[in-house]
Amino acid sequence: MPSVLILNGPNLNLLGTRQPEVYGKTTLADLETLCTTEAARLGLRMAFEQSNHEGALIDLIHAARGVHDGIILNAGAYTHTSIALMDAIASVELPVVEVHLSNIHARESFRHTSYIAPVAVGQICGFGAYGYVMALQALGKRLIS
Ligand code: DQA
């Protein structure tokens, strides 16, 4: 059974109370439940992690090699700043689906740049929590043949 790591970056631990008009009312725990249900339906194993620290996210990406078959990554604001995360993804050579709850392209111009996109299989944004379900389906399609 293929295994997927779902990795959440800074401030996503505050989902549900953090700018609900932008990010919705779904909490991180709700999101994990949603993903667990969908992963089981698709026949995927799943791990779900969150960190506010760039280095910790990089360590989790490195540790995914040989353990997981793909990564779903919402890197939060590090999306727009972190060459180190981009390099980590390129180094482990696992398929990565980039996810954002909000439509980053319809927001401030600094959010239009993603350092993750060039090393990702694709990007899903603007669909709220459902974007994670879509990402699991997209990765599942790739991993289960
Ligand atoms: C986000 C979008 C980022 O620009 C922002 O910094 C976040 C959340 C999203 O899921 O919409 O923290 O990744």
Q: Whose CA is nearest to atom 6 of ligand 1?
A: 77
Q: Which atom of ligand 1 is nearest to the CA of 9?
A: 12
Q: How many angstroms separate the CA atoms of 101 and 55, rounded?
A: 23
Query: How far does CA 59 lie from the centroid of its chain?
Result: 15
For residue range 89-145, what is the model confidence (pLDDT) as tens digits? 999 999 999 999 999 999 999 999 999 999 999 999 999 999 999 999 999 999 997
Task: Compute the Cα dihedral for 90, 91, 96, 100 and give only its sign.
Answer: negative
Q: How far is the CA of 76 from the centre of ligand 1 (A)?
A: 4
What is the torsion angle, in degrees rounded to the nearest 10, for the CA atoms of residue 59, residue 62, residue 63 and residue 68?
130
Nearest residue (by CA) to ligand 1, atom 2, is: 76
Buried b / exposed e over 91-114, threshold 16 CB at 10 Å, is: ebebbbbbbbbbebeeeeeebeeb
- Read off the pTM: 0.97
